[in-house]
Amino acid sequence: MTGDTDDIIALRAALAAAEARAEVAEARAASAEAQIAHLKHLIARMRQDRFGASSERGRRLLAQLELELEELETTLAEDAPENAADPAVRATAPRSNRGRQPLRADLPRERVVIPAPTQCPCCGSDRLSKLGESVTETLEVIPRQFKVIQTVREKFTCRDCESITQPPAPFHPIARGRAGPWLLSTILCDKFLQHLPLNRQSDAFAREGIDLDTSTLADWVGACTATLAPLTTLIRAHVLAAQRLHADDTTVPVLAKGRTVTGRLWNYVRDDGPFGGPAPPAVWFRYSRDRKGEHPTDHLTGWTGILQSDAYAGYNTLAKPGRQPAPVVSAGCWAHGRRGLFKIAERDKAPLAIEAVGRIDAIFQAERTINGTPPEHRLAVRQTDIAPLVDDLFDWMRECCRRMSTKNPVAHAMNYFLRRADTFTRFLTDGRICLSNNAAERALRGIALGRKAWLFAGSDRGGERAAAMYSLIVTARLNDVDPHAWLADVLARINDIPNPRLHELLPWHWKAHQQVHNTIAA
């Protein structure tokens, strides 16, 4: 009897200890989940910033928050009871229901049936009848496979005239190249879309048993750039046919004689969507060794229209009277102007900066209601609803600046608007003009992220090559086209298609053709 009592006491003690551990684990999990939710909220707020790219400090903070979130979620999953090493703990763990979404219906399914018992485990009877089944779906990946395609051209001889006949050799994506279009597209997308340098790609191929050294990959990238050059030219012509462009630039470290210099990638974006234009969006990139104002002047030779940009002085030459064929009309970017005030409001909690940001946000909010509508409607709404907000803002800023020192950071940020009032208010007179230059900044975002991976361009030619490939890949993404599939198809066909039909390979025409083809196939 005493032994039974001791066992009961021991079991109660073990149960109490287990319950205490469970309470600690539950509290720790709740704390981790709360912190995860907080981090997700902060990251979402930073990602949803509608007013241009964040500062370098902000980008580092976002990367740090994402890493912290990854670590918390990994730790929470590792400590979860359902992932415990002890099967008994796993069996008693409560099921977590996080609203998991079903896997895509179009993915191929492989059915694995677990052998059913042949006898009833309760009575031993073999009279079993199927009642139903439970299906658990698990997402799996199949390692990519390589294959060699042999293109055979049979020869025939004529028994009458003894002439030899053979079909002509097909065009290859690159001259005398042994790489197929999908392999070339993979290499290009890994380099310019996934930001994976060629030496790392070579290492990855080697791990899969394929010997492709870096020099071979570099030859293929260079050959593809030359092959695709006609499409880059067509994209340039399409962009420069626009009446309004977004312009911006970003730094590109370039290797030069044992050191790096800071080159520039410029982009010019055609995006008529905000005012309901039918033309598809596109972006044209250019590379330069420095940031001299002569570069945008050279890039936009012969073009005239509305240019939306930041306040970089290099664009001023384009707007000078007497420029041929006509001066460019400059339009300011409210996102750039707001950014300076927002930093002061966030860092110093300055009341005037906070109020200025609130007034500017009201203008952005009113502008969102007319996004995508025709220019005439946009202009009418701006004249009636938005112009009074802008006038009040500028009058209030002038009054504030009269009462502050010119060295005051808030006054300096406000003067960014006041010194350029004509360019900032130009959107009130033309419905085609956007409130911000975010279209150009979004097109540069991938390059800014990629710098952390590829570190620098190998030469000026490398910068020019990158500009050409980014023109193709980013334009494809702007048109909701998968760059990988598009480049593979283009590389397979571009050498066979006559020049007058090259425009059919542009992303928006290619997308329309694919949709028609898929509709017919269905």
- Using CA atoms, how far apart are residues 55 and 45, in angstroms rounded to an integer? 15
pLDDT, position 49:
54
pLDDT-flagged residues of the chain (< 70): 1-4, 22, 24-27, 29-30, 41, 45-100, 256-259, 451-458, 521-522
* Cβ atoms of residues 294 and 318 within 8 Å: no
What is the per-residue pLDDT across 273-302, written as a single tens digit (0 to 9) for each? 999 999 999 999 999 999 999 999 999 999
- Using CA atoms, how far apart are residues 504 and 7, in angstroms rounded to an integer? 82
pLDDT, position 2:
59
Q: Which residues are CB-neighbours of 453 under 8 A, at least 6 positions away?
A: 195, 196, 197
The residues spanned by each domain of the chain are: 26-39+68-84, 242-445
pLDDT, position 104:
86
pLDDT, position 91:
45
pLDDT, position 145:
87
Q: C-alpha distances in angstroms, 492 versus 86, 172, 179?
A: 54, 7, 11
User: In the 8-state DSSP scheme, what is residue 457?
Assistant: B
Q: C-alpha distances in angstroms, 213 versus 198, 210, 309?
A: 9, 9, 42
Radius of gyration of the chain (CA): 31
Q: C-alpha distances in angstroms, 313 versus 378, 414, 416?
A: 29, 18, 13
pLDDT, position 454:
57
What residues are paired with 252 via a beta bridge? Answer: 263
Write down the mean pLDDT value for the chain: 85
